[in-house]
């Protein structure tokens, strides 16, 4: 790396009139590229704090990064390019070997702690701040990129954790709660997820970002749904068809609301991520939960539960399950961009996806309620979410998620 020609943070070569244009930091006469300078809140050389956003507390974000700015190092596109080029396995193997070697070095350091500490102190004292920061940042960048590439791969252990969570559940029962109360709470959760967060902002720009108000509202909806359950009766034969249908549907929605997003791609989920941190990659979580929802659709249709309930109740349940599959179809790239295999969105914007899905959800819900004229109901039949459950039931799912309900 050439410190005169390359940025010491992202290692990109300086280029005029681009985001990688060379820029002098305002505090210590060092240089960064414009992109890293815009993202960081502190100087990586002397650690002086630069202008900060108003109204943002340090506890709400990483102390070195500006609010809602992505880390220039931890970008998922790197992993996608590696996979596309076929270099991912080799890179992962190299990364694992490097991490193992680093562990061996740490063990050696522990054995010779006193001598290494003295040598390290002398070396750090003699090294310039720029060299020290560049070396540390370079190490973090390499290890971080490998860690992201590894984390973005599918984990059989996490998939099995979700499988065990579903199979080990006690059969939820609504007790004395009428089915339309459960349907109303599931509808509220879906409508909240797809609706604008506040005037001028669409929830799609924040839904995969950790935010205090979003987490609080998500927890409230999760608690409202879980409050519907009562202890399973000793005689399971007393469970009605409505109990079987809405109990499993509420449990599936609770699995969806358990996921707590921290960034566009990272989050925590107790039913999917492994202990103790329960961290998981968003796209892998939503893929596996979508498989589980498809298996639920197959069980509902195969068990022929429709015979024991009214047509309206059946249609409402299928509409909610179909809407959940549409929500889980969104493949995240960044907080604002991604793609879906069910609903195309303009410029791959998440807010466009939410806006379209919200309209289809409300229209399908109105059809399930029998509202509107017959001509209007026929006009929306092309995107009836209730009929989408048939497509879910016919979908091929991995063996891990077959017959788990």
> What are the beta bridge partners of residue 173?
230
Between 246 and 199, the higher pLDDT residue:
246
pLDDT confidence of residue 386: 83
Q: pLDDT: is 3 or 310 the higher one?
A: 310
Counting the structural domains of the chain, the total is 3
Q: Are 262 and 256 in contact (CB under 8 A)?
A: no
Domain's final residue, options 149, 172, 188: 149
pLDDT at 257: 95
Predicted confidence band of residue 85 (pLDDT cuts 50, 70, 90): very low
Tokens of 326: 């549409």
Q: Are residues 94 and 187 in the same domain?
A: no
| Dist. CA 52–CA 61, nearest whole Å | 12
Strongest mean pLDDT among 8-22, 109-123, 204-218, 378-392 = 8-22
Q: Where does a domain end: 38, 69, 100?
A: 69
167, 132: one domain: no
- Please state, rounded to an integer, the average pLDDT across all residues of the chain: 75
- Is 80 in the same domain as 115? yes
Q: Which domain holds residue 80?
A: 76-149
Ranges 147-151, 173-177, 350-354: which has the least confidence: 147-151
pLDDT over 90 (residue 369): no
Residue 159's pLDDT is what? 96
Look at residue 42 and give its three-state secondary structure.
strand
In this structure, the answer to whether residues 178 and 319 fall within a common structural domain is yes
Q: What Å distances lie between residue 253 and 36, 82, 193, CA to CA? A: 40, 35, 12
Mark whether 252 and 321 lie in a shared domain. yes
Indicate if 95 and 43 belong to the same structural domain: no
Verify cis geometry, omega within 30 degrees of 0, for the bond prior to 158.
Answer: no
Give the mean pLDDT of 374-380: 42
pLDDT in tens, 170-188: 877 787 788 999 999 999 9
- 62: domain CATH number is 3.30.40
282 and 172 in a common domain: yes
**Side-chain-side CA neighbours of residue 206 (13 Å):** 19
Say what the pLDDT of residue 134 is.
Answer: 54
Query: Is the pLDDT at 209 greater than 80, yes or no?
Result: no
pLDDT tens across 293-315, in order? 999 999 988 876 666 788 899 99
Task: Determine contact, residues 241/392, Cβ cutoff 8 Å.
Answer: no
- What's the rounded Cα separation, in Å, for the pair 265 and 325? 19
Last residue of a domain, one of 110, 128, 149: 149
Characterise 304 by phi-psi region: left (phi > 0), alpha (psi -120 to 50), beta (else): left
Contact status, residue 261 vs residue 248, Cβ threshold 8 Å: no
Instruction: For 101-163, give the DSSP string.
Output: HHHHHHHHHHHTHHHHHHHHHHHHHHS-HHHHHHHHHHHHHHHHHHHHHHHTS--HHHHHHHH
Are the beta carbons of 355 and 202 closer than 8 angstroms?
Answer: yes
pLDDT at 197: 63
Looking at the fold, whether 25 and 97 belong to one and the same domain comes out as: no
Higher pLDDT, 272 or 337: 272
Q: Which two tokens stand for residue 287?
A: 């893929």
**Residue 279 and residue 395 in one domain:** yes
pLDDT digits (tens, 9 = 90+) for 29-74: 888 888 888 888 888 888 888 865 544 554 455 667 766 565 655 5
Residues ≥6 apart with Cβ < 8 Å to 356: 343, 345
Together in a domain, 288 and 384? yes
Contacts of 402 (CB under 8 A, 6+ apart): 295
pLDDT of residue 94: 45
Q: Are 211 and 328 found together in one domain?
A: yes
Estimate to the nearest angstrom the gap between the alpha carbon of 31 and the chain centroid: 35
**Helix axis angle, 385-394 relative to 350-369, nearest 10°?**
110
Decide which of 116 and 186 is more confident.
Answer: 186
> Could you tell me if 172 and 283 lie in one domain?
yes
Q: Is 21 helix (H, G, I), strand (E, B) or coil?
A: coil
SS3 call for 318? helix
């Amino acid at each position: 790396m050439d410190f005169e020609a390359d940025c010491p943070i992202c290692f990109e070569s300086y280029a005029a009139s681009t985001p990688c244009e060379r820029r002098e930091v305002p505090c210590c006469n060092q240089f960064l590229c414009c992109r890293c300078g815009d993202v960081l809140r502190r100087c990586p050389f002397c650690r002086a704090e630069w202008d900060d956003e108003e109204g943002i507390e340090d506890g709400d974000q990483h102390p070195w990064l500006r609010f809602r700015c992505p880390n220039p190092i931890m970008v998922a596109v790197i992993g996608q390019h590696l996979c596309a080029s076929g270099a991912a396995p080799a890179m992962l193997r190299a990364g694992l070997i490097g991490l193992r070697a680093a562990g061996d070095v740490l063990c050696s350091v522990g054995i010779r702690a006193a001598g290494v500490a003295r040598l390290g102190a002398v070396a750090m004292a003699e090294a310039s701040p720029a060299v020290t920061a560049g070396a540390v940042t370079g190490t973090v960048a390499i290890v971080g990129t490998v860690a992201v590439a590894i984390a973005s791969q599918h984990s059989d252990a996490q998939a099995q954790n979700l499988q065990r969570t579903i199979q080990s559940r006690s059969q939820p029962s609504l007790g004395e709660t009428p089915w339309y109360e459960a349907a109303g709470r599931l509808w509220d959760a879906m409508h909240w997820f797809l609706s604008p967060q506040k005037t001028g902002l669409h929830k799609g720009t924040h839904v995969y970002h950790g935010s205090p108000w979003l987490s609080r509202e998500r927890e409230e909806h999760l608690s409202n749904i879980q409050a519907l359950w009562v202890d399973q009766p000793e005689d399971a034969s007393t469970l009605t068809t409505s109990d079987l249908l809405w109990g499993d549907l509420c449990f599936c929605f609770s699995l969806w609301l358990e996921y707590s997003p921290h960034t566009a791609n990272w989050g925590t989920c107790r039913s999917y991520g492994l202990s103790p941190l329960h961290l998981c990659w968003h796209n892998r979580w939503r893929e596996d939960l979508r498989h589980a929802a498809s298996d639920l659709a197959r069980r509902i249709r195969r068990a022929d539960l429709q015979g024991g309930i009214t047509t309206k109740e059946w249609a409402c349940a299928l509409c909610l399950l179909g809407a959940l599959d549409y929500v889980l179809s969104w493949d995240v790239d960044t907080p604002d961009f991604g793609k879906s295999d069910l609903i195309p969105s303009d410029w791959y914007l998440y807010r466009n996806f939410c806006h379209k899905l919200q309209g289809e959800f409300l229209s399908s819900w109105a059809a399930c309620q029998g509202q509107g004229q017959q001509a209007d109901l026929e006009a929306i039949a092309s995107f009836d979410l209730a009929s989408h459950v048939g497509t879910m039931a016919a979908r091929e799912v991995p063996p891990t998620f077959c017959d788990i309900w």
